[in-house]
Amino acid sequence: MMKILITGGAGFIGSEIVEQLSRIPNYEIRVLDSLSEQIHGNPAEDSFLYKKIQGKCHFIKGDIRDCSLVSEAVRDVDCIIHLAAQTGTGQSMYQINDYNSVNIMGTSHLFQAISDSGKKVCKMILASSRSVYGEGAYACPEHGTVYPESRKKEAMLHGDFQMYCPYCKKPVTVIPTNEDSPVTPYSLYAFTKYAQEKMVETMCRAMEIDYTIFRLQNVYGAGQSLSNPYTGILSIFSELLLSGKALNIFEDGKESRDFIHVRDVASAIIKAVDCPSSNGSVINLGSGRRTSVLEIARLLKTCYGSCSELKITGNFRIGDIAHNTADIALAEKLLGFAPQTALEQGMKEFTDWVKTQEHKDLKYEESLAEMKKREMFIG
């Protein structure tokens, strides 16, 4: 019987891992989660995500920064899947201490507890983020693969959202970003995720623990937060479309993301638990497909049958990347990974689930006002 601890196991990705693991014999599942109100609402025990894991694991309610609870959680476990983190790039730029405390010190507490326990953990799996790449990889006709710096506020104010070669300054075309690409975090969130990666690499090698690090793209699906305006466009667009309000589509609508369904992410993470070929590797997890924000808005509008207007406004947030697509060749090679949920199917499932949920005030406008006050949102 393998004992697995999942930190943040009542969250969006964690609850799906618990769901899938619970159907596999010979795993004893333990979850440590704070049941954050921003994710679960109040009371948290009534949330979709918490109900999803009930009866499928031993649950410990607590904060990853609580040393005594972390020590209790790691006792006698064989594998740790570390998901507990503060997420969201915009919010990280002004909740600085909180992000450092949870993401960096929380990970530190895990290793301290492992060291103090006297029992060797066999493997650790870390959920990191594609945000560590910054803008990622682009192709220049003259200079080949290049890695541009983030876009300038002055250019974006004039409606120029294009990416340019850092050498010849000519327009470049986005290409899939692989794991060998430079790490250039442009947000505090990205910095903390990279700090987690380096801590895992350093301490796991020193403590002779196998490890795998996953850099996740935009994960979506039933269960993702509908009450947190900082964690993605799907929740924001859903609220506006269902209420018939116009969608404020930032920039020129051409900015794009790689959307991967939560089932595919959970399946890949579970495969890594017993996959020696993934040990010591940093692996991208995405669909390998790039979809523009305008395409996503149109797809959601169709799924909801909404009459909302799609307004391309030219507004933008400081620090947002232009595009991202994962090169998933390494995941295919090491894990036999291939996404099983097509975007159209996944979005239909997501919107069908959203329709069944109680809709609370997302406080989207308040979040924009907060970011505008801090000069992070221009609009």
Rg (the chain; Cα; Å)? 20
Are 223 and 40 in contact, with CB atoms under 8 Å apart? no
Are 258 and 290 in contact, with CB atoms under 8 Å apart? yes
Please pick, among 27, 138, 189, 194, the residue that the annotation labels catalytic. Answer: 189
Tokens of 11: 């969250």
Residue 119 Cα distances to 82, 93, 112, 208, 212, angstroms: 18, 38, 12, 12, 20
Cis peptide before 43 (omega within 30 of 0): yes
CA distance 350 to 34: 25
Is 189 tagged catalytic? yes
CA distance 54 to 310: 39
Q: What's the full length of the chain, in residues?
A: 379
- Angle (deg, nearest 10), helices 106-117 and 67-74: 50
Q: Kindly list the catalytic residues.
A: 189
